[in-house]
Amino acid sequence: SLPTTSYGISSIWLGYLVTHMDYFKIKEKLQSFENYLNLSHVYFFFSCFYLLIGVFDWIAASIVSRLKHELFHGGNKLKKPLQSHQESSQHQNYSSLENSSETLHNETEQEPLRPTKTNIKGMMLSFYKDSSAYLLLLVMFVSIGSMEMYITNMGTITELYDHDVVSIAAKSESNYDPQKTLATFSVNSTAIRIVIGLVIDFFTRKLGFKNVEITIMFLLLLLGFCSQLLMLTSNRYLALATSMMGMTYGGLFTTFPVVVLSHWGSEIFGTAYGSCMVAPALGSTTFGIVFARIFQNNSCSVVDDSCSFRCIGQMFQINAISFIFALAVATFIYFGMWRRKTKQTVHV
């Protein structure tokens, strides 16, 4: 959970930096431009920032690669004297079974068993042939994809939400600010990541519970459904709904890697989870296009105060149905495939 938590923290402080420093804002003192950013300054800053991060990443990767290289060759150097000792002991006394077994025991201690290329290739083929992997991909597609849609269109949704609650006597006042909505989402998304990591470790290692990550995944999908239901039925609790969606988004990004790791193992974790990460990217694009179509077909506008938030209500209906579908598929994966396979293995 620490890498995903760090990812969330970076979005918070970088977002705060961009929205609060005068360097990133348009200099013209006009009311129509007071909330707009100077994109040339923003992109120049991030170009330099990512260049610096790339340099540090290259240095860190080089150090790790060198340490692994030294460790590997150091193990080979330890193995050679051990092999010569084994050969000399065999020449001295071929009938000494005790010496041979002791040498084999020492060699095993010096060089732990590692998965071979053949084993890893077989595990990867098994992963790509496993139908549950593609169903899990579908769960990630509909759940994280819908949350990515909310992040991308958070400003527009907040403005439309504000149209329904601003009083006629105070139309110039804004009850909901896109920056506050983003901060609420980011804080909850970041905090839940480290909390879930601690909860999984505590219940798994200290209390010995099994499948904790599966239970948390079900609870997060249910929380996501409730957040969409709240957006549909009320126009007064944007902060609460945003907090729930932030926890769902950050929690799922922390839980899915643990699910992949516990079911397919650490040997192919990079390949397995990297393949699964295609789903959120496709989901973000798909749900974003659906939002744009609904926004255009219903003639929604953030400029026209008479335009109600309900003009994009269909989007949250689709999201709610998506979470119900994700819960159904996740239930089938666990109870219909993984748990049944475990019972059959134990029975044999």
When mean pLDDT is compared across 66-70, 193-197, 229-233, the lowest value belongs to 66-70
Look up the pTM and report it.
0.72
- In terms of C-beta density within 10 A (0-12 exposed, 13-18 middle, 19 or more buried), how is residue 143 classed? buried
Contact between residue 248 and residue 191 where contact means Cβ atoms under 8 Å apart: no
* Spatial CB neighbours of 290, under 8 Å, sequence gap ≥ 6: 149, 315, 318
Segments of the chain assigned E as strands = none
pLDDT digits (tens, 9 = 90+) for 71-128: 666 555 544 554 555 555 444 444 443 444 444 444 444 444 455 566 778 888 888 8
pLDDT at 314 over 70: yes
Interatomic CA distance for residues 9 and 264, integer angstroms: 29
Q: How confident is the model at residue 174 (pLDDT cuts 50, 70, 90)?
A: low
Is the pLDDT higher at 172 or at 228? 228
Measured in residues, the chain has a length of 348
Phi/psi at 25 (5° precision): -100, 155
When mean pLDDT is compared across 28-37, 43-52, 164-173, 216-225, the lowest value belongs to 164-173
Contact between residue 284 and residue 263 where contact means Cβ atoms under 8 Å apart: no
Listed residue (224, 232, 222, 276) closest to 250, CA to CA: 224
Q: How confident is the model at residue 145 (pLDDT cuts 50, 70, 90)?
A: very high
Sign of CA dihedral 185, 162, 176, 292: positive
pLDDT digits (tens, 9 = 90+) for 262-299: 888 888 888 888 888 899 999 999 999 999 999 888 87
Interatomic CA distance for residues 10 and 207, integer angstroms: 33
Structure tokens at 49: 């920032």
DSSP state of 68: H
Q: 67-76, 129-138, 180-189: which has the highest mean pLDDT?
A: 129-138
Interatomic CA distance for residues 328 and 234, integer angstroms: 26
User: What is the pLDDT of the chain when averaged over all its residues?
Assistant: 78
Total Cβ atoms within 10 A of residue 162 = 21
pLDDT digits (tens, 9 = 90+) for 17-49: 777 787 877 766 554 555 677 778 888 888 888
Q: Once rounded to an integer, what is the mean pLDDT over residues 238-261?
A: 92
Measure the CA angle with vertex 328, ends 324 and 331; round to 5°: 135
